[in-house]
Amino acid sequence: MPSAVHSEQVESDGFEEAYVELFVRAQRVARRIVDEASAEDVAAETLTRALVSWRRVRAYAQPWVTRVATNLALDAVRRKQPELPLAASEEPEEAVVRRLVLVAGLRRLSRRQREVLVLRYVVGLDETEIAPVLGLSPGTVSTYARRGLAAMRRRFAADPEEVCRVLEDPA
């Protein structure tokens, strides 16, 4: 009599061949957001989810894995308080203020601009890697990045006092 595991058929046609490449991709994306051990856990969870949904995601496996690994790594960061890396001359309070200002500025961008900027500058993906993750063309990704950066520069460079107002009223 077959066991319960064997009775559940998982469609894995081609998964074994793609596994190593997809695992490395998921781990690379996660490593830019979380530590090495957590990145390996994120990659393993990502590939487990890929296997379960393989029939559905096979055609666009690389962008799917990138997106899921990014989401899982961000979830891991939310669950854990990260240590703030400090610049050599920066006080901890300055680092906290700098991050709060950055987060407040990102929150005021459109969802797409925020996604593009985080994937580009936090995760470290280039425009051709971001495009399939978000379902956009590379040119559109470039436009969102350019407009998002311009909005951040305008907001904070034109009026340094805006930083104080943003911190007092982040909405």
> Is the pLDDT at 41 greater than 70, yes or no?
yes
The mean pLDDT of 15-31, rounded to a whole number, is 92
Place of tokens 């559905």: 56
Please tell us whether the domain made up of 92-168 is placed in CATH 1.10.10.10: yes
The mean pLDDT of 42-68, rounded to a whole number, is 93
Of 71 and 87, which is predicted with more confidence?
71
Token pair, residue 9, equals 């058929």
Q: What CA–CA distance (Å, rounded) separates 104 from 125?
A: 22
The mean pLDDT of 85-95, rounded to a whole number, is 64
Q: What CA–CA distance (Å, rounded) separates 9 from 12?
A: 9
Sign of CA dihedral 48, 52, 58, 64: negative
Cα 128 off chain centre by? 15
Q: What CA–CA distance (Å, rounded) separates 65 from 92?
A: 35
Q: What CA–CA distance (Å, rounded) separates 110 from 72?
A: 22
Model confidence over 152-166: pLDDT tens digits?
888 777 555 555 554
Please say whether the beta carbons of 130 and 61 come within 8 A: no
Query: Could you tell me the pTM of the whole model?
Result: 0.50
